[in-house]
Structure formats: structure tokens, C-alpha cells
Amino acid sequence: MNSNVKKFIQNFSYTFIANVLSIVISTVLILIVPRFIGVDEYGYWQLYIFYTSYISYMSLGLTDGAYLRFGGYKYNDLPKNVFVSQYWFLVVFDIVVNISIASFYNLISINTNKTIVVLLTSITGILVVPRSLLTFMLQATNRIKEFSVIIILERLIYFILIIIFLLNGIRKFEYLIYADIIGKFCSVLYSIFVCKELVFGKFASFKISVKEIWLNISVGIKLLVANFVSMLIIGIVRFCIEKNWSIETFGKISLTLSISNMLMLFINAMAVILFPALRRTSENHLPAIYKMMRTIIMIPLIGLLIFYYPAKIILVAWLPQYAESLTYMALLFPMCLYESKMLLLINTYLKTLRKEKLLMEINLITVGFSVILTSISVFIINNFNFTILSIIILLAFRCITAELCLSKMLKIQVKKDIILELFMTIIFIAVSWYLNISVALIIYFIAYVIYLIIKKNDAVYLWKNIRSLLKTN
């Protein structure tokens, strides 16, 4: 077997285990927590998760820049004293920023529960932002095993504590957040242990430290803005739902989004190891690898939409108080197609080709589109259904636009595949929303069989290439 393929498989196995555990934990929490706590309490818990998803962007782009600049390096070749300076800069910076945010919100807020959420989010920010520099360097230098252990440790402690709280009759959202913070704190300690050379030691000179911090920020700021804006695409819609409707509605839709996003954990397992691998690959091979990876993820993902039908039946029976919101899975489930392709392929390739500016521009355009669509659906026509549908419209628009740009750089043809995937998405949403589950399942299954027949040659080509790689020494 090709040594590069062997290393890729080995690294994937580590992240696969970490992400399978995350999926199991997420599934259990999604199914169990709403069953035991009130809709209000669940809403505030989801609000914390929503806020913390933006916390990592307080790095100013420093961690993103380091990831881009040192992707493909060996860990021992990293300039350790430079990273010591940058780590402690992030610690001090985030302490100051998060304390300021918490103090300001405490002065202006009249909602005690939201104040608690913001305060605990600020504590999380102090923990996770400096840690991100260490985890990014583990990913960039292909130390995937250590990175995976950090994820496993955080999620496992988080899960165990939540189960303990629920079994002891503790139903308040604050304790669910405490469990998350404790899990993150333990993972921070382990990340410091495995990256102690980047945390403890002699600082680089002040001049070099400032120069490196500025260089990483200047390189990473475009990627940071691109990622932050990417979060805003759905974030604007969710924020307006919380403001225009209620915390209960926000919690219910967050549950549906969480279920729809579960498949993303598998994709993330591959994205983590693909970037450093591609940075070490000749640009001549990138188009062929893209076509192979595209076929590998899209054919199974389009097929996995079939599991929506039994999943909805089970979830409605288990969580009857969320039955109404679970109907929106029909509109949101296909988001995994576009988010998976964006995360694994398009983002990774644009970063490899150092086209962060293009990624940022596409995301900014999509956010502008998000503001327009959300304003119309929420404030003008006040239509909740269209507000939810706008999420998949926005994600599809961004993904298709970005892939068309990328295909020109790689000189490959993807328009036929884009049209096919869009057609399958429309069929799924239409039959799942308007028809009963049995009829919808039959129609979508027939459509998927036709899709497989159309994609037969691509599947055969992929299989031949995989066999060739496995036989290569």
C-alpha cells in the first residue's frame, strides 16, 4: 500500500474514532436532554452553544494565519519560542476582551438568564481561543492522534457530567453549561501537556514576537473573516428567529439544526487531515483528487437523506413536544450536502491554493443575501416557513458559487453534478414537505436509483483509482 495512503488512513482512523464518539454523544444528548428539561431551559442551553460558536473568532486571525503558514510542517521544525509568545498573547488578550464583554452586558441586560449565558460564554472564550492555537498546530503538523484525544477528552467529560446531573434530578441549563466548561478546561490542560514546548519556555524577542503576531494576523484575518461570515449566514437567521419569535422557538429550531448537522462530524474527520496532506501534494494532482473526493462524499450523502424518513418517525414519538419543529427537518436535512462539500472540499482546496480572499468575498456576498432574505421573511412577510427554507437556499447558493469558481482554477467540469445535486435536493424537500412519509420515501428512493445510474461511470472510475492506490508501494 502507498505510504501516503497508509498515513492518511491511520490519521483518519484517529479522527474517525473521535468523531464517532462525538456523534454518539451528540445523538444521546439531542435525544435525552430535551426529554428531561423544559423547552425554556433547552432554549437557553442552545443559546449558549450558539454564542460559543462565535467565540473562536476572538483570535484576530492569529491561529488561522499560523495554520495556513505552517500547514505541512513537522512539529519539531516549528519555531517554539515564537509560539510561546503568541500563546500568552492570546491568553492575556482574551481575558481582557471577555471580561469587558461580560461586564458590559451585565450593565445593559434586563434578562438574568441571558446574562448568565453571556458570562459563561465569556469564560469559555478564555479557555478555547488560546487552546485553538495548539490544536491548529497539531492539525497543521499532522499530529492527529493527540488532536483526537483532546476532542475525545472534552466530549467524554461533558457527556458524563450531563448524565450525572440529569440522573440526580438537576434540570437547570446552567449545569449543562458547567459540564461543557469543565470538559473544555480538562482538554485545555491536556493540550498544554502535549504542546508544552509551545506554551512554556523562553519568549522570542519583543521585535520578533510582534512581527510574527502581525504576520499571522495579516495572513489569517481573511480566513477568519471568511469563517466568521460563514457562521453569520445561518447565524443571522437564528438571531432573528430568537428576537422575532421566542426562546422556545429558537430552542426547537436549534434541535432540528443539530439533528441535520450531525453528519457534519464525519466530514470534519476527513477535513482535519486533508489540508496538511494537500499542502504536501503537487498541484498537478489536485484536480484528480478533487474529483475522487467529490464522488466519495456526494454519492453516499445523497443516499443518506433516505434515513430522514425513519428518523422523523422515531424522533416525533420520542420528543412529542418538539413534533411541530421536527417537520422542518424536511427543509433543513439537505443542508448536510452543501455544508459537507463546502467544509471538506471547497474550503480545504481554497486554503491549499491560498485563495482565502476569494472565500471571504463569496461568504460576504452570501451574508448580504442572508440579510435581504431574512429581512423579507421575518420583518416584511413574517413567514416562519420561508425563514427556515432560506437557510438551505443560502447554503446552496454559497456552495455552488464557490465550487464554480474553484472548478475554473482546477480546470474541471462540475456543472452537470451541481445540477444533479440541486435537482435531488428539490425533489427531497418537495416530497418530504407535501407528501406523507411512505409516498415520499418511495419517490425519493426511485430518484436516488436514477441518480446512481447516471453516476455509474464516476463510481467505476473511483473504484479503479482506489484499487490502484492500494496496490502501489
Q: Is residue 405 part of a domain?
A: yes
* Domain's final residue, options 204, 227, 251: 204
Q: What is the DSSP string of 170-234?
A: ---HHHHHHHHHHHHHHHHHHHHHHTHHHHSSPPPPHHHHHHHHHHHHHHHHHHHHHHHHHHHHH
Q: Is residue 169 located within the same domain as residue 297?
A: no
Average pLDDT, the chain: 81
Counted domains in the chain? 2
Domain span at residue 181?
1-204
- Give the C-alpha separation, 414 to 419, whole Å: 9
Question: Which pLDDT score is estimated for 412?
Answer: 85
Q: Is residue 73 located within the same domain as residue 173?
A: yes
Question: Which pLDDT score is estimated for 239?
Answer: 73
For the segment 3-25, the average pLDDT, to the nearest whole number, is 62
On the question of pLDDT at 235 being above 70, the answer is yes
On the question of pLDDT at 473 being above 50, the answer is no
* Percent of the chain residues past pLDDT 70, beyond the cut: 83
Question: Which pLDDT score is estimated for 179?
Answer: 92
Q: Is residue 227 part of a domain?
A: no
For the segment 177-189, the average pLDDT, to the nearest whole number, is 93
Q: Is residue 8 located within the same domain as residue 147?
A: yes
- Give the C-alpha separation, 337 to 201, whole Å: 45
Q: Is residue 288 located within the same domain as residue 196?
A: no
> pLDDT tens, 251-281?
666 666 666 666 665 566 555 555 555 656 6
Q: Is residue 199 located within the same domain as residue 325?
A: no
* Domain's final residue, options 204, 222, 251: 204
Which cell goes with 358? Answer: 476569494
Q: Is residue 333 located within the same domain as residue 473?
A: yes
For the segment 283-298, the average pLDDT, to the nearest whole number, is 78
Which cell goes with 227? Answer: 469563517
- CA 378, 382, 388, 390 dihedral sign is negative
Q: Is residue 229 part of a domain?
A: no
Which residues, other chains included, contact 147 with Cβ-Cβ below 8 Å and sequence gap of 6+? 14, 15, 18, 135, 138, 139, 272
354: left (phi over 0), alpha (psi -120 to 50) or beta: left
Least-confidence region, from 239-243, 354-358, 450-454: 239-243
Q: What is the DSSP string of 327-384?
A: TTHHHHTTHHHHHHHIIIIIHHHHHHTT-HHHHHHHHHHHHHHHHHHHIIIIIIS--H
- Give the C-alpha separation, 348 to 327, whole Å: 33
Question: Which pLDDT score is estimated for 242?
Answer: 67
- Quickly state the pLDDT bin for 444 (edges 50, 70, 90): very high
What does each C-alpha distance from 305 to 222, 295, 330, 447 come to in angstroms?
34, 16, 10, 12
Question: Which pLDDT score is estimated for 60?
Answer: 82
On the question of pLDDT at 326 being above 80, the answer is no
Q: Is residue 313 located within the same domain as residue 195?
A: no
Q: Tell me, what DSSP letter sits at residue 311?
A: H
- Quickly state the pLDDT bin for 430 (edges 50, 70, 90): very high
Q: Is residue 195 located within the same domain as residue 293?
A: no
* Domain's final residue, options 204, 231, 257: 204
Smallest CA-to-CA distance from 137 within 219, 212, 70, 77 is with: 70
Q: Is residue 299 located within the same domain as residue 170?
A: no
> pLDDT tens, 128-155?
989 989 988 888 887 878 888 888 889 8
- Give the C-alpha separation, 318 to 306, whole Å: 20
Q: Is residue 161 located within the same domain as residue 300?
A: no
Question: Which pLDDT score is estimated for 187?
Answer: 93
b/e 84-106 (16+ beta carbons within 10 angstroms → b): bbbbebbbebbeebbeebbeebe
What does each C-alpha distance from 358 to 94, 354, 383 come to in angstroms?
29, 9, 33
Q: Is residue 175 part of a domain?
A: yes
Higher pLDDT, 47 or 274: 47
The listed range with the strongest mean pLDDT (68-82, 199-213, 233-247) is: 199-213
Question: Which pLDDT score is estimated for 224?
Answer: 78
Which residues, other chains included, contact 345 with Cβ-Cβ below 8 Å and sequence gap of 6+? 290, 293, 294, 297, 403
On the question of pLDDT at 346 being above 60, the answer is yes
Q: Is residue 191 located within the same domain as residue 287?
A: no
Q: Is residue 388 part of a domain?
A: yes
Q: Is residue 221 part of a domain?
A: no
Contact yes or no for 265/26 (Cβ under 8 A): yes
Question: Which pLDDT score is estimated for 428?
Answer: 92
Q: Is residue 312 part of a domain?
A: yes
Question: Which pLDDT score is estimated for 201?
Answer: 83
Q: Is residue 18 part of a domain?
A: yes
Which residues, other chains included, contact 219 with Cβ-Cβ below 8 Å and sequence gap of 6+? 61, 64, 65, 68, 69
For the segment 58-69, the average pLDDT, to the nearest whole number, is 83
Q: Is residue 38 located within the same domain as residue 147?
A: yes
On the question of pLDDT at 420 being above 50, the answer is yes
For the segment 345-355, the average pLDDT, to the nearest whole number, is 80
